[in-house]
Amino acid sequence: MRVSGELFGALIGASLILTVLYPVGHRRNLRLAKEMSGLLERELEPLDQEYTWLGGVMGFTGEFKVPGFKKVMVVYRLLPRQSALWLPFHFLTGDRDTVQALFYLDAPPRQEIHLVKGGLFNNPRIYNLASLKEERMRLGGRKFKVLFEKDPHPAERLADFLGEALPLVRHLAVTKEKGVFYLELPLPPSRLKEGASLLGRVVREAPALEKIV
């Protein structure tokens, strides 16, 4: 099969772009992962920590030993900046760099409850969804879907607990099965400090959180 000069030139150009963008995206993600781990250690002040990389430079899982909780797990997932082919699809679907934080409670919570921020693509997987009731509530000036086991009113106290950081949250959950307080935060690079600061505040104010959940 013969290839025209224009097509051949286009293929060469695309190959050069991919070759150039890969190391740039790779370094960017590596830099963000190192920055986030440093912020987490500063804010959480852990007694001990352990990290596991997620597929090269796609992020990490960090396990932290902190006072007030059995442990804290933080999953930091990064966009594939090293992939010029996949990155545009992530932006089109609204994907962002994301932090998922799991605070393992010392005492079992009284009920399961979820606060899910409104949005076309925001439909988190909730395993026992069929057993939960649903209400729509405005919290902190934003619309949330509240899924709850017994009583929706703790949603307001949880929103007050987060305060000005509530807009960072896409999904908040308190789950009974594993006794976890969960936060999911879409975090662009410009808001890493805000996200890490929120997680640190949860640790520092663990007694207040226990009274709510």
Domain count, the chain: 1
Residue 122: give the domain boundaries. Answer: 5-212
pLDDT in tens, 170-185: 999 999 888 999 999 9
CA 44, CA 23: separation in Å to the nearest integer?
31
Question: Cα dist. 182→14, 82, 112, 167, 210 in Å?
Answer: 42, 29, 11, 15, 13
pLDDT in tens, 75-99: 999 887 655 555 454 455 456 789 9
Answer yes or no: are the C-beta atoms of 182 and 101 closer than 8 Å. Answer: yes
Q: What is the chain's percent helix, strand, coil content, to nearest 5? A: 40, 30, 30
pLDDT of residue 120: 46
- The structure's pTM equals 0.83
Least confident of 7-21, 156-170, 192-206: 7-21
R_g of the chain, CA atoms, integer Å: 20
